Amino acid sequence: MNVDAAESPYATLESLGPRFDALLPPGTKIEKIAEDLEWSEGPVWDAKAKTLLFSDIPRNVVMSWHAEKGVTRFLERSGYTGAAPFTGREPGSNGLTFDPQGRLTLCQHGDRRVSRREADGTMTPLAVGFEGRKFNSPNDLVYDDQGALYFTDPPYGLPKTFEDPAKELDFQGVYRVAKDGRITLLTRELERPNGLAFSPDYKTLYVAQSKVEAPIWMAYPVEADGSLGKGRVFADSSKLYKKGDGVPDGLKTDVHGNVWATGPGGVLVYTSDGTLLGRILTGVPTANVAWGEDGSTLFVTANHRVLRLQTRTRGMPLAVAH
């Protein structure tokens, strides 16, 4: 194991061999591009505006970073739009992505829904409940190459999370929203489903479980109709977990099928067969990652900060309209 401690005061690289070094060479510069956040999450690159959007969940706002303009507020009341004061810790938006038509799509914790932001700034709800019951608090989301939306629904946005009296579903699901709006429950086997991402061929869906006792990532085969087959444990980070270190959360894949997943220590980089290549050690609980700029830049939402580093791979691009 080689730990490169020289590149940044904000993170270090822990290499387990040359395959990691080929992706992130020793001495890779790791920059801090935003700070003084309460809990940064849901980063997504806006290629048209050349900006990174990300959620600050406790502050109920989507922030924007531009290389020349710095950090500004992009969207207020991003996750909770109610009139009454929100009593919990996480009212804001969480996961962000763009739909195949380029419209911002948000997991709104406080409003307990997934919504799409239209060109005029209005919100169109895409998913508000299942079988007549409200969702818990949609957490992360991704579109497939056919335009269907997949998302996870743990209760972290509810004021009392699992014990909240307003919780209407007695499980935490992974769902699919078809292009016609029909919502399907794909699996309810995970107690704490969180981040999710597709493999480059869209034939595998990876889902993180943010559970201290079982900090794992599952891999599900995606069937022709968009449903999921029987899942398998893709990777298990139990041996790496230390208290306060963070658990599996958001993840993305690159064009070679490597999985860049936040979890114990920071960002863990796995091959498509589940081999751990190394970690980006941030020293803080780390929520999510996103590819941006020319596709080779990795952005990391690391607790109160957002980091940026250059890789020698390219991220899997967002799905685009056919």
51 neighbors 65 (Cβ within 8 angstroms): yes
* Residue 318 covered by a domain: no
Q: Which domain holds residue 265?
A: 2-310
pLDDT recorded at residue 245: 87
CATH number at residue 222: 2.120.10.30
Please, what sign has the CA dihedral across residues 184, 190, 195, 197? negative
Buried b (16+ CB within 10 A) or exposed e, 257-272: ebbbbbbbbbbbbbeb
Q: What does the alpha-carbon distance between residue 74 and residue 40 come to, in Å, rounded to a whole number? A: 14
Distance CA 187, CA 196 (A): 13
Question: The whole model's pTM is what?
Answer: 0.96
Residue 243: the pLDDT is: 87
In a domain, 319, yes or no: no
Domain assignment of residue 316, yes or no = no
Q: What is the pLDDT along the chain (322 residues), one digit of tens a residue?
A: 666 654 578 999 999 999 999 999 999 999 999 999 999 999 999 999 999 999 999 999 999 999 999 999 999 999 999 999 999 999 999 999 999 999 999 999 999 999 999 999 999 999 999 999 999 999 999 999 999 999 999 999 999 999 999 999 999 999 999 999 999 999 999 999 999 999 999 999 999 999 999 999 999 999 999 999 999 999 999 999 988 889 999 999 999 999 999 999 999 999 999 999 999 999 999 999 999 999 999 999 999 999 999 999 999 998 876 5
Question: Which pLDDT value is given to residue 7?
Answer: 54
Assigned domain for 315 exists: no
Closest CA to 45 of 226, 314, 248, 268: 314
Q: Is residue 322 part of a domain?
A: no
| pLDDT tens digit sequence for 127-171 | 999 999 999 999 999 999 999 999 999 999 999 999 999 999 999
| pLDDT of amino acid 144 | 97
Question: Which two structure tokens, joined as six digits, stand for 118?
Answer: 């239209």
Q: Using an 8 Å Cβ cutoff, are 267 and 300 in contact?
A: yes
What are the Cα distances from residue 107, in Å, to 89, 99, 168, 306? 16, 13, 18, 19
- Residue 320 in any domain: the answer is no
The partner residues of 62 in beta bridges, in order of sequence, read: 55, 75
The total number of structural domains in the chain stands at 1
**Quick check: is 321 in a domain?**
no
Name the residue among 198, 82, 97 with its Cα closest to residue 141.
Answer: 97
Does residue 170 form part of some domain?
Answer: yes
What does the DSSP 8-state code read for residue 37?
-
Q: How far apart are CA 168 and CA 239, in angstroms?
A: 34
